[in-house]
Amino acid sequence: MSPPFDRVALIGIGLIGSSLARVLRREGLARHIAVHSRSEATRTKVRELGLADSLHATPEAAVAGADLVVICTPLSAYGDIAAAIAPHLKAGAILTDVGSVKQSVIRDVGPLVPAGVHLVPGHPVAGTEHSGPEAGFADLFRNRWCILTPPPGTDETAVNRVADMWRRCGMNVEIMEARHHDQVMAMTSHLPHLIAYTIVGTATDLEGHIDADVIKFAAGGFRDFTRIAASDPVMWRDIFLNNREAVLEMLGRLTEDLAALQRAIRWGEGEKLQELFTRTRAIRRSLIEAKQA
């Protein structure tokens, strides 16, 4: 059986891009994997790791002749990349991405896509706190969700081909509106990261000997936050800047709830605390039942 894609171009090859390269190869999903990284050090690393069939210093060279192009860079690079590759995209090619915000892709990339090329924005919801091509692994996507947010009128065959690729990478695929995606992710991913970054920052600003002790005695909960707050700084800067409205809305809700809890602690309202904590414990069970724990 011939591979579903003849030539796949990966634009950017960090944690997600390199994991995709590995699983594309393992599952035989591409005859040729072309990789672009603008960094020579990264290209050398990718060569050593044997992740690419061809390596390219420019995105336009990588996409020449590709039937599938996957943008795997931080969101702030999307506009320039789209402008650079647009004239070089093959007729009928599919253009997708792996970014954590989806409305901004439609806004920044959509207008630059030539007629006859199919834009299928995508988001494999998977990751670790590590970055770079050496951090990727083929099983990163297994049993996780991939969300596709094709704008209305997108070619169905193109959507199905992208969905099929992610399924063969081990993912469950869900199709939804970009706006809904951005709201759900603001709550489940962007806000947790924002809070983790903040709390780790707050802790290490403490004066006296407390900051050293914060590291020493991190096992009581702080540790988990430091792991989340170790995620790629540029990628996350771009997520917050590109999903600003939804993040600020969810943050507003959180701040209200936090104020209510603060008041309950100040006034010693134990029942309120226990009621909330009992409710959140039940959520964990839902997650375990949904096999997402």
Residues 190-249 that bind a copy of itself (CB under 8 A): 190-206, 209-210, 213-231, 233-234, 236-238, 240-241, 244, 247-248
Beta-strand relationship, 145-148 and 122-124: antiparallel
The distance of closest approach from Cβ of residue 19 to a copy of itself in the complex, given in angstroms and rounded to an integer, is: 14
Using CB under 8 A as the binding rule, the residues of this chain from 20 to 49 that contact a copy of itself are none
Rounded CA-CA distance 105/178 in Å is 9
Query: Token pair 């134990």 is at which residue?
Result: 270
Question: Do the beta carbons of residue 258 and residue 276 sit within 8 Å?
Answer: no
Q: Which residues, 6+ apart, have CB-to-CB distance to 239 below 8 Å? A: 75, 100, 101, 190, 193
Span interacting with a copy of itself, options 1-9, 19-27, 64-72, 267-275, rule CB under 8 A? 267-275
Rounded CA-CA distance 93/63 in Å is 10
The distance of closest approach from Cβ of residue 15 to a copy of itself in the complex, given in angstroms and rounded to an integer, is: 13
Using CB under 8 A as the binding rule, the residues of this chain from 47 to 86 that contact a copy of itself are 76
Closer to a copy of itself at the Cβ: 48 or 217? Answer: 217
Closer to a copy of itself at the Cβ: 39 or 286? Answer: 286
Closer to a copy of itself at the Cβ: 64 or 234? Answer: 234
Closer to a copy of itself at the Cβ: 152 or 268? Answer: 268
Rounded CA-CA distance 72/59 in Å is 11
Q: In the set 30, 120, 147, 178, which binds a copy of itself (CB under 8 A)?
A: 147
Using CB under 8 A as the binding rule, the residues of this chain from 120 to 139 that contact a copy of itself are 125-127, 129
Closer to a copy of itself at the Cβ: 54 or 188? Answer: 188
Rounded to 5°, angle at Cα 90 from 59 and 98: 50
Question: Do the beta carbons of residue 29 and residue 91 sit within 8 Å?
Answer: no
CA dihedral 271, 273, 275, 279 (to 10 degrees): -170
The distance of closest approach from Cβ of residue 270 to a copy of itself in the complex, given in angstroms and rounded to an integer, is: 5
Q: In the set 26, 142, 167, 253, which binds a copy of itself (CB under 8 A)?
A: 253
First-to-final CA distance of the chain: 36
The distance of closest approach from Cβ of residue 63 to a copy of itself in the complex, given in angstroms and rounded to an integer, is: 27
Closer to a copy of itself at the Cβ: 89 or 101? Answer: 101
Does residue 89 touch a copy of itself according to CB under 8 A?
A: no
Crossing angle of helices 270-289 and 244-266, in 10° steps, is: 140
Q: In the set 1, 152, 153, 266, which binds a copy of itself (CB under 8 A)?
A: 266
Closer to a copy of itself at the Cβ: 38 or 180? Answer: 180
Nearest to 144 by CA among 178, 169, 108: 169
Nearest to 62 by CA among 120, 118, 10, 116: 10
Q: Which residues, 6+ apart, have CB-to-CB distance to 254 below 8 Å? A: 191, 195
The distance of closest approach from Cβ of residue 74 to a copy of itself in the complex, given in angstroms and rounded to an integer, is: 11
How many residues sit in the footprint of a copy of itself (CB under 8 A)? 94
The distance of closest approach from Cβ of residue 10 to a copy of itself in the complex, given in angstroms and rounded to an integer, is: 21
